Copies of this chain bind each other. A is one copy, B any other.
């Protein structure tokens, strides 16, 4: 900038004024300065600017697992709308690892991001302390944190799986296996609550044996399903609490020599773009990923521009049950009855 100022024989203050349009500048000087900028190929240094202004126009985005297509989609739309608003996105993912998560949030805060969008891996005290003391605009997505009261956009998880379970119950299933996500997450807890609620509404007992933990990961879900299917009274249906796990569930069903939906019905949280083209066509709960991403981005943008209300806003969206062919009426699944 100093070079530009010299080349145009003006002060740096004036150069700054034309670049930012922050003060009136005579047409003559403006012309000289703009020309000098062209000639020199000057680009203003965003770091120096950030130092002075105390803002980086960057938001930190931390999600538990970017490999999960749900998060991938959400990240993509967040990145898109933030970019259009002139913000850069610093991305972290920790593969559902809480310790890694703590490190990463530090990394982000350390880099002086202006705000944070987080889908936390777990309800970790350290994390909560850090984001509490960072005092940054923060929006939680997908998963809430106990005792942390910020903007958030989440799904009505409880209702969604209650509906799905109700649907399976309606097909006559009485023993519905449930592959749960980690109860360290609000989604893990809420989804399980939905399952319980549906059972209760149908006057059916909640059986611990029928729920196993897959921690939102394929491998763990595979093991969990193997156990479930090996038990004496095999369930006639299985609900998977997310997309990654349903792959594990299907693999276990295959490996144990059963067929879906002939032998066991399956439904899952999270939809797939290919769900109605590969067999069995999975019955799923579709999340409005586009809306989730847009809303989250908008919340942080509003907060950053200071036009949010004082109290945090909590958006809860509804899932949609996509009934396809992976669940069938109990009367048609003879082997499960035997």
Give A residues with C-beta under 8 Å from B: 43, 45-48, 50-51, 56, 58, 61, 66-67, 69, 72-73, 75-76, 79-80, 83, 88-93, 95, 103-104, 107-108, 110-112, 218, 247, 250-251, 254, 273-274, 277-280
Contacts and interface: CB of A to CB of B under 8 A. Distances in A.
B278 A279 contact: yes
B88 A89 contact: no
Contacts of A250: 274, 277-278
Given A72-B72, A247-B274, A250-B278, 9 more contacts: A47-B50, A51-B51, A58-B90, A66-B72, A69-B72, A79-B93, A89-B91, A90-B90, A254-B277
Contacts of A108: 88
Given A47-B112, A273-B247, A277-B251, A72 B79 contact: no
A91 B90 contact: yes
Contact of A51 (B47, B90, B103, B274): B47
A265 B79 CA distance: 37
B111 A92 contact: no
A75 B79 contact: no
A48 to B, nearest CB: 5
A140 to B, nearest CB: 20
Contacts of A279: 278-280
* Stoichiometry, copies per complex: 2
A58 B92 CA distance: 12
A167 to B, nearest CB: 21
15 contacts: A45-B112, A46-B111, A56-B111, A66-B72, A66-B75, A76-B93, A83-B92, A88-B90, A89-B91, A250-B274, A250-B277, A250-B278, A254-B277, A274-B278, A279-B279
Query: Which residue, A50, A73, A104, has most C-beta atoms of chain B within 10 A?
Result: A50
Contacts of A254: 277
Contacts of A72: 66-67, 69, 72
B79 A91 contact: yes
Residue from the set A66, A254, A280 with the largest chain B CB neighbour count within 10 Å: A66
Contact of A83 (B47, B58, B104): B104
Contacts of A277: 247, 250-251, 254
B76 A46 contact: no
Contacts of A61: 91
A264 to B, nearest CB: 14
A313 to B, nearest CB: 26
A104 B79 CA distance: 11
A66 to B, nearest CB: 5
A251 to B, nearest CB: 5
